[in-house]
Structure 1
């Protein structure tokens, strides 16, 4: 399809195919030593589960990390090590999985994430901070729109989309759309660039070495929402999230600002 190459990442990253195995190994090693609860339920399907990581003192609040993978792949088990940065600063960290396309649509995934946030917020008192990567960036950005009955929205302290897919329209011109099922109605309802400017503080984050399409997407969202845009030097789409594992990194500080 016309834009397949524009949204391909692994082929343009040295050792790109090795990253999923590396993430999974680092995540498993972290779970083995962390204070955590695994596979907590927030919904009916087997993928509607979350992991909750606890700091070594009373939590200041909770950071919720929503993973990417074009709404088609991955789950919470690949990212556990990214909890390390906020944990060291005294925040609990929750990581939900969600059902994937084509079993559900992108809007339904958003509904699942909203439900997960509600369950997690009931479990952990204090402010709620959302961070999401790639497709997860779309999902956390979508959470800024008012949702009836979402009591947790009054506790939302910051949203940080990393390399977000902010406008879904270009993905209609990729072969992925056979599974994603993006229509014009989905574009207008689920693309964050078409949503009202949020009341909650938002920072957009993207790697300086990312594919041009992702740099453009991040810029469009920052412009639409008049939000700060941080371009992390030399970071590509797969390592732009790595600093979440560091307590004093620029990215961790931005999430907790």
Structure 2
């Protein structure tokens, strides 16, 4: 058979989202397949976080009615210190506050208070519930800043992976718990998904189970008019194709909407390696957060 005839006889790929067929889309939402050190870094989250709890003073607070609506606050011991709030990832169904204090020591050593905002995850909560919990947690911190001892004017919120989505959604979703516009100085979102359409069409859709209305309501890229703070969008060069696309597309949409946005590429870093730089004095995400607090 002539090569042209052979090519024409092959079945055309069935695209389910953009130029992704189902297998490729599912692979792009399986970050561990692209990061051979994923398990080791996830284990490090827990060990480094436990070490932070052992070495630093920590106060734990309830910001809501459910047991998982808690905030661990690590104080730098300096009245009126700035605050970094961290929202963890885990594909909306894994990890918790005891995996999420790994950056506390670096920030406290720099004179910055560090808060770990925890929330319920699947199957105990749905994604819309998580967004509202993150909104509620940010609001609680801001309302109680005087009692907690940090400067409410210098608050930066950081999220990684699904936590990056939750941060961006918390700042753009129109819910009763919405974050007051202008109350957060800046947000840093690393390695997140900002339009949930592709996510829902991937294998993750089976456990996310979002309606079309929820996909729209909680896709931050669709509600940029509500964003009222500068944004830094970071991603690793060794991320999946789809997560690199999510970052660059989100940044471009922010700029097109007239929002202040900086796109940061972490060369040589995969989806999990970039998160470690938040806990390294001089690391990429650490330095970005510190810079955001000073502007």
TM-score (norm 1): 0.92
- Report how many residues are paired: 256
> Partners in 2 of 1:219 and 1:132 — Cα distance?
17
1:179-194 correspondence to structure 2 within 5 Å? 179-194=207-222
Tell me the CA shift for residue 210 of structure 1. Answer: 1.0
Are the counterparts in 1 of residues 72 and 97 from structure 2 also a CA contact under 8 Å? Answer: yes
Shift of 1:46: 1.4
Partner of 1:212: 241
Runs of at least 5 residues in structure 1 that lack an aligned partner in the other structure: none
Query: Does the Cα contact within 8 Å between 1:76 and 1:96 map onto a contact in 2?
Result: yes
Taking the aligned partners of 2:190 and 2:97, their CA distance within structure 1 comes to 17
Moved more, 50-59 or 228-237: 50-59
2:8 match: none
Computing the radius of gyration from Cα coordinates, the structure with the larger value is: 2
Alignment-derived partner of residue 51 in structure 1: 72
SS, match of residue 264 in structure 2: strand
Deviation, 1:59, is 4.0
Give deviations 1:13-71, integer Å, cap 9, x for gaps.
12322332221111101110012113x21111111111111013224221111011111
Shift of 1:151: 6.9
Q: In structure 2, what is the Cα distance between the partners aligned to 1:208 and 1:112?
A: 31
- 1:194 is displaced (CA, Å) by 0.7
SS at 1:241 equivalent: helix
Q: Is the 8 A contact 1:131 1:140 kept in 2?
A: yes
How many Å separate the matches in 1 of 2:41 and 2:276?
11
CA RMSD in angstroms comes to: 1.9
Alignment-derived partner of residue 176 in structure 1: 204
Task: Name 1:139's counterpart in structure 2.
Answer: 166
Which residue matches 1:244?
278
Shift of 1:91: 1.8
- 2:213 counterpart SS class: helix
Residue by residue over 1:178-210, the C-alpha shift from the partner in whole angstroms, topping out at 9 and shown as x without a partner, is: 221122212211111111242311110111111
Equivalences for 1:50-69 in 2 at 5 Å? 50-69=71-90
Which residue is 1:166 aligned to? Answer: 194
* Mean Cα deviation higher: 99-108 or 24-33: 99-108
**Mapping 1:70-219, distance limit 5 Å:** 70-124=91-145, 125-126=151-152, 127-145=154-172, 153-197=181-225, 198-219=227-248
Aligned to 2:50: 28
Contact residue 135 and residue 165 of structure 1 kept, 8 A: yes
Distance in structure 2 (CA, Å) of the matches to 1:24 and 1:76: 9
Question: Contact conserved, 2:161 with 2:190, CA < 8 A, in 1?
Answer: yes
Do 1:130 and 1:160's aligned partners in 2 also have CA atoms closer than 8 Å? yes
- The Cα of 1:85 is off from its aligned counterpart by 3.0
1:205, 1:231 within 8 Å by CA — same for their partners in 2? yes
